Amino acid sequence: MTEVVALLDELQRIGKLVDGYLEPQLARRRPARLWEAAYHLPKAGGKRLRPFFTINVCKALGGREEDALPPAVAIELIQAFSLVHDDIIDRDSTRRGVPTVHKKWGVPTAIVAGDLLHIKAYDIVTKAALTNQRLARVLPNIIDEINRSTIEICEGQELDEELERKLQPTESEYFEMISKKTAALFEASTAVGAQAAESTSEAVESMREFGQALGIAFQIVDDILGVTADEKELGKPVGSDIREGKRTLLVIHTLTKGSCQERKSLLKALGNRKATARDSSTATKALISSGAVEYSRRKAREYTEKARTALLTLPESDYRTLLDNALTFVVKRTY
């Protein structure tokens, strides 16, 4: 229990650090309409999980918080940029409980606002490196991690769309997709923390493994919550994953291992934006009765253990304990 309190305190502290860093970068700039649109999502909060991992990995490897903060903020902006563009693509109208950028300012401004967040991610680390010698030394490595993950996010976005067009999506296609679309940025968040601490390439590699496995576990839990959480917890209507046709692990498991009736119930609502509440509810029940929720929980635990093994290559410290607790939190969270 005290561990949870300590973790939540740290997440809150990181949230304030990130907010304090972002505000002068994004607020009260001109043209006002564009910068407001760009600031909209970062201002709406979020768990700040990725900056938490960057900063605490850096400290667990003997690095300094002030060197980790600019890349941590950059990672958060990459996340925001990709969400703004994803929301246009997925035609989502709410995110973090507020209207999406394109819903409020229109698609043209949302495209450009996303681009701005993308540039500011690079701008923040680059500007910091111009006055911080230590960061200047590792700047090419940090930008390289950011580039690699962002390329994978783009590829993952395309793979996700391809998966939705496939009649028989396989589990391995699913894992390739989430490894890029979701886990790549967790991987960058932990690897960049190690880079900011000027760690050995072995330590960087271990932190990549940690972030990658953590990110996969995170996404599977997200898939599960789309079915089991309530609307307030989710910040979007229950069953919307199904109606939007998202190929979650639960959907893929039910399509490949479910009974004929379960598959039929699921397919009636899957990707059908006009599905009734009853259709959605029947489809949700099929995901449960097929054993997909249980199976996904098991998979999430597997990846959590993989992440933990990579994490435990770090020397013991309070920071490592915090990271370990965060890993547990990611899998046990209810929103």
Decide if residue 112 touches its own copies (CB under 8 A).
Answer: yes
- Distance set, CA 72 to CA 63, 150, 159 (Å): 13, 15, 27
Shortest reach from residue 18's CB to its own copies, in Å: 20
Which is closer to its own copies, CB of 40 or CB of 85? 85
Among 122, 272, 288, 297, binds its own copies (CB under 8 A): 122
Choices 136-144, 181-189, 258-266, 310-318 (CB under 8 A): range interacting with its own copies: 136-144
Q: Which DSSP symbol is given to 95?
A: E
Shortest reach from residue 52's CB to its own copies, in Å: 24
CA distance 306 to 212: 9
Helix (H) or strand (E) holding 98: strand 98-99
Shortest reach from residue 276's CB to its own copies, in Å: 27
Token pair 């093994």 in the structure block, residue = 309
Among 6, 27, 98, 154, binds its own copies (CB under 8 A): 154
Shortest reach from residue 246's CB to its own copies, in Å: 15
Q: Residue 208 CB: number of other CB atoms within 10 A?
A: 21
Q: Which of residues 164-183 bind its own copies (CB under 8 A)?
A: none
Which is closer to its own copies, CB of 73 or CB of 300? 73
Token pair 């300590």 in the structure block, residue = 6
Choices 64-72, 123-131, 203-211, 304-312 (CB under 8 A): range interacting with its own copies: 123-131
Nearest to 178 by CA among 190, 189, 187: 187
- The residues that bridge with 95 in the sheet, in sequence order, are 98
Choices 8-16, 140-148, 195-203, 320-328 (CB under 8 A): range interacting with its own copies: 140-148
The answer to whether the beta carbons of residues 61 and 193 sit under 8 Å apart is: yes
Provide CB contacts within 8 A for 284, sequence distance 6+: 227, 238, 239, 242
CA distance 208 to 189: 9
Q: Which of residues 77-96 bind its own copies (CB under 8 A)?
A: 85, 88-89
Helix (H) or strand (E) holding 241: helix 240-243
Decide if residue 123 touches its own copies (CB under 8 A).
Answer: yes
The answer to whether the beta carbons of residues 269 and 283 sit under 8 Å apart is: yes
The answer to whether the beta carbons of residues 191 and 63 sit under 8 Å apart is: no
State residue 203 phi and psi, 5-degree precision.
Answer: -65, -40
State the amino acid at position 5 in one-letter form: V
Q: Residue 294 CB: number of other CB atoms within 10 A?
A: 12
Choices 25-33, 59-67, 198-206, 315-323 (CB under 8 A): range interacting with its own copies: 25-33
Q: Which of residues 305-324 bind its own copies (CB under 8 A)?
A: none
Among 65, 66, 92, 155, binds its own copies (CB under 8 A): 155
How many residues lie near its own copies (CB under 8 A)? 40
CA distance 120 to 77: 7
Decide if residue 24 touches its own copies (CB under 8 A).
Answer: no
Shortest reach from residue 107's CB to its own copies, in Å: 8
The 30-49 site mask, x for binding its own copies (CB under 8 A), equals xx-xx---------------
Among 3, 144, 171, 173, binds its own copies (CB under 8 A): 144
The answer to whether the beta carbons of residues 270 and 242 sit under 8 Å apart is: yes
Binding site for its own copies (CB under 8 A): 30-31, 33-34, 85, 88-89, 107-109, 111-112, 115-116, 118-120, 122-123, 126-127, 129-130, 136, 139-141, 143-144, 146-147, 150-151, 154-155, 157-159, 161-162
